[in-house]
């Protein structure tokens, strides 16, 4: 069997490795357009924060290891441009040098593998497949506005982005981050760790629209304490290059031109670097052009076996949709665990081992300076729009037993359904004991537990780790009263 995979990161390489373990005789080919495979994208902000660390430390397994030990035909620098479901082929061009020892289906010859030049772009390839996995991931949303193509205006999604940013920061003193989401907030901490002045700006008027206002206020205070300026409700108009002169030197600076969405007042933010962190979108163009069905936010529609609308084609990772365990409906929530798990599931199914994925709860956690921020399930707004009779409580308690050293404030928002009494969502913010507590709520959502069932769970207690009544149990008790 010929198993071809488009994309060589989390879902793609997980599928390739597992397929070879399941069926060593299987011919597995991975086509990756960049030169990087199998790296920890989520670790990039933390790596960037430390100028002494090499960005390549984030590579989990190098390409040659997959080729030599796993016997995977891994072809980097190969960009797929077309999927033909009828002929069962994928085709594209070699866009950069690859370290592959052989590539019989490519028009590239031994004489032109040393340097990247214009001729490389015209070297075409084509591969037949019996089964195909699309694991093309997601790409950053770059506003179609003047100046977003200037040097120093950079997104952060791929390892190559991380390299570019880390190299550029050597001469940076001031940064503007466009967007106040997971990546933007993690990057503001990374930049501050390098003594860079940081300003964050976003067009939406709400600081964190998905978060309960009481909890969002705690996050905003953490940014204020650490000297990060934030501007919500400012639409980006353009970015300009500004020439600044003084007696000592001349520097090319960037100016982010913004406009208040209510007053129309103009705001000009100067920076040496602009980080674009305004979201991502699924890379589903190949699937669309091949006639495959798409779903939420343009993601590729798959069933529980990760199969697309074509029986021979699968999709996994950030390019594909999923089923939400709370609503039972399709959703698009690009997260690392789902990508790796989906890659395994595809490999199993291709090898004849039926594997179905139940879905996701949207569980996520990230940190901003000393603050841990976590969520799982639905917000009250999402719950109402999904047809639930949603009820919400917000509680403030402590992370450890009364008067125990290290105890910190913990803020919990919990959502339940009045009709079924199911637990349907939790948000948590605090400096201690938040990141792993959210997992208990995530398990409850997967099991479709009622709030009362969850309140009755036997959670561990010891003074160094929590109060007798865990913050989640306290929230569940208050929610029961309100239900």
Q: Which two tokens stand for residue 180?
A: 């106040």
CA distances from 156 to 181, 271, 336, 363, 427 (A): 12, 17, 16, 21, 26
DSSP string, 46-72: HHHT-TTS-GGGGBSS-HHHHHHTS--
**Given 42, 188, 258, 283, the catalytic residue:** 42
Q: Which two tokens stand for residue 117?
A: 């030049």
Strand pairing class (73-76; 27-32):
parallel
Bridge partners of residue 253, in order along the sequence: 242
Nearest to 174, CA basis, from 157, 151, 194: 194
- Residues 393-403, buried b or exposed e (16+ Cβ, 10 A)? bebebbbbeee
283 is catalytic: no
Q: Report the alpha-carbon distance of residue 224 to residue 221 in Å, rounded.
A: 5
Q: Report the alpha-carbon distance of residue 106 to residue 110 in Å, rounded.
A: 11
Q: Report the alpha-carbon distance of residue 239 to residue 352 in Å, rounded.
A: 52
Three-state DSSP at 128 gives strand
Which residues, 6 or more positions from 209, have their beta carbon under 8 angstroms from its beta carbon?
A: none
Q: Report the alpha-carbon distance of residue 454 to residue 246 in Å, rounded.
A: 64
Residue pair 223/217 in contact by the 8 Å Cβ criterion: no
Neighbouring C-beta atoms of residue 123, cutoff 10 Å? 19
- Rounded to 10°, the helix 182-193/213-225 angle is 20
**Residue 17 CA neighbour count, 13 Å, CB half:** 21
CA angle 376, 381, 385 (to 5 degrees): 105
Q: Which two tokens stand for residue 83?
A: 């999927």
Q: Report the alpha-carbon distance of residue 132 to residue 346 in Å, rounded.
A: 10
Nearest to 157, CA basis, from 282, 249, 273: 282
CA distances from 141 to 145, 279, 322, 324 (A): 12, 5, 21, 24
Bridge partners of residue 250, in order along the sequence: 245
Residue pair 430/399 in contact by the 8 Å Cβ criterion: yes
Q: Which two tokens stand for residue 28?
A: 């597995």
List the catalytic residues: 42
């Amino acid at each position: 069997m010929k198993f071809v995979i488009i994309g060589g990161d989390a879902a793609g390489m997980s599928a390739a490795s597992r397929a070879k373990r399941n069926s060593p005789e299987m011919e597995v080919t991975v086509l990756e357009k960049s030169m990087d495979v199998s790296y920890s994208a989520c670790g990039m902000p933390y790596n960037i924060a430390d100028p002494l660390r090499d960005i390549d430390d984030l590579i989990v397994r190098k390409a040659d290891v997959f080729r030599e030990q796993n016997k995977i035909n891994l072809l980097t620098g190969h960009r797929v441009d077309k999927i033909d479901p009828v002929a069962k082929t994928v085709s594209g061009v070699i866009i950069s040098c690859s370290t592959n020892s052989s590539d019989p289906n490519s028009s590239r010859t031994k004489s032109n593998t040393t340097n990247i030049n214009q001729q490389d772009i015209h070297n075409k390839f084509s591969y037949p497949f019996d089964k195909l996995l699309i694991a093309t991931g997601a790409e950053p949303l770059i506003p179609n506005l003047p100046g977003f193509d200037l040097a120093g205006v950079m997104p952060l999604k791929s390892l190559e982005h991380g390299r570019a940013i880390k190299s550029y920061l050597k001469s940076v003193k001031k940064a503007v981050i466009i967007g106040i989401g997971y990546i933007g907030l993690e990057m503001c901490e990374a930049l501050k760790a390098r003594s860079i002045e940081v300003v964050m700006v976003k067009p939406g008027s709400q600081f964190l629209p998905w978060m309960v206002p009481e909890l969002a206020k705690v996050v905003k205070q953490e940014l204020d304490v650490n000297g990060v300026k934030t501007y919500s409700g400012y639409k980006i108009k353009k970015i300009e290059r500004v020439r600044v002169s003084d007696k000592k030197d001349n520097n090319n600076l960037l100016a982010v031109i913004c406009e208040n969405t209510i007053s129309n007042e103009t705001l000009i933010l100067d920076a040496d670097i602009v980080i674009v962190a305004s979201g991502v979108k699924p890379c589903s163009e190949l699937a669309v052009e091949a006639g495959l069905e798409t779903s939420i936010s343009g993601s590729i529609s798959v069933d529980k076996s990760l199969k697309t609308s074509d029986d021979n084609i699968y999709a996994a990772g950030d390019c594909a949709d999923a089923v939400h365990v709370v609503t039972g409906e399709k959703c698009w929530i690009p997260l690392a665990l789902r990508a790796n798990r989906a890659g395994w599931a595809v490999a199993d199914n291709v090898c004849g081992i039926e594997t179905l994925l139940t879905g996701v709860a949207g569980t996520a956690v990230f940190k901003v300076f000393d603050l841990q921020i976590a969520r799982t399930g639905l917000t009250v707004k999402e719950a109402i729009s999904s047809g639930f009779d949603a009820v919400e409580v917000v509680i403030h308690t402590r992370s450890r037993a009364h008067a125990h050293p290290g105890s910190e404030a913990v803020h919990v928002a919990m959502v339940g359904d009045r009709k079924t009494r199911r637990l349907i969502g939790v948000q948590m913010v605090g400096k201690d004991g938040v990141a792993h507590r959210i997992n208990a709520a995530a398990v409850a959502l997967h099991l479709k537990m009622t709030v009362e069932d969850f309140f009755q769970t036997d959670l561990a207690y010891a003074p160094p780790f929590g109060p007798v009544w865990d913050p989640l149990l306290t929230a569940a008790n208050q929610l029961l009263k309100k239900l």
